[in-house]
Amino acid sequence: MNQLEQLSKVTVVVADSGDIAAIEQLQPTEATTNPSLILQASQQADYQHLLVSALKGNEQDITAACEQVTVNFGCEILRHIPGRVSTEIDARLSFDTEASVAKALSIIERYRAAGVDSNRVLIKLAATWQGIQAAARLEKLGIHCNLTLIFSLAQAKACADAGVTLISPFVGRILDWYKQNQPEQDFSGDKDPGVISVKTIYNHYKNHGIPTVVMGASFRNVDQIRQLAGCDLLTIAPNLLLQLKDSTEPLPAALQPQSTQSPATAKALSQAEFLWQLNEDAMATEKLAEGIRKFAVDQRKLEQLLHHLAQSR
Paired strand residues for 216? 234
Q: Would residue 56 show up in a list of annotated catalytic residues for this protein?
A: no
| CA dist., res. 37 & res. 127, Å (int) | 19
| CA dist., res. 20 & res. 159, Å (int) | 30
Angle between helices 271-280 and 282-312 (to 10 degrees): 100
Total domains in the chain come to 1
- Give residues with Cβ within 8 angstroms of 19, minimum separation 6: 37, 40, 41, 44, 238
Q: Minimal CA–CA distance to 219: which of 256, 271, 161, 174?
A: 174
Map residue 168 onto helix, strand or coil: strand
Q: What is the pLDDT along the chain (313 residues), one digit of tens a residue?
A: 999 999 999 999 999 999 999 999 999 999 999 999 999 999 999 999 999 999 999 999 999 999 999 999 999 999 999 999 999 999 999 999 999 999 999 999 999 999 999 999 999 999 999 999 999 999 999 999 999 999 999 999 999 999 999 999 999 999 999 999 999 999 999 999 999 999 999 999 999 999 999 999 999 999 999 999 999 999 999 999 999 999 999 999 999 877 555 666 778 999 999 999 999 999 999 999 999 999 999 999 999 999 999 998 7
What is the structure's pLDDT at 259? Answer: 57
End-to-end CA separation in angstroms for the chain: 50
CATH number at residue 97: 3.20.20.70
Could you give the dihedral angle defined by the CA atoms of residues 275, 220, 299 and 232, in that order, rounded to the nearest 10 degrees? -60
Which residues span the domain enclosing 61? 3-312
Whole-prediction pTM: 0.95
Among the options 9, 56, 103, 124, which is catalytic? 124
| CA dist., res. 91 & res. 295, Å (int) | 6
Torsion over CA: 103, 165, 77, 292 (sign)? positive
Residues composing the chain: 313
What is the structure's pLDDT at 216? Answer: 98
| CA dist., res. 232 & res. 14, Å (int) | 11
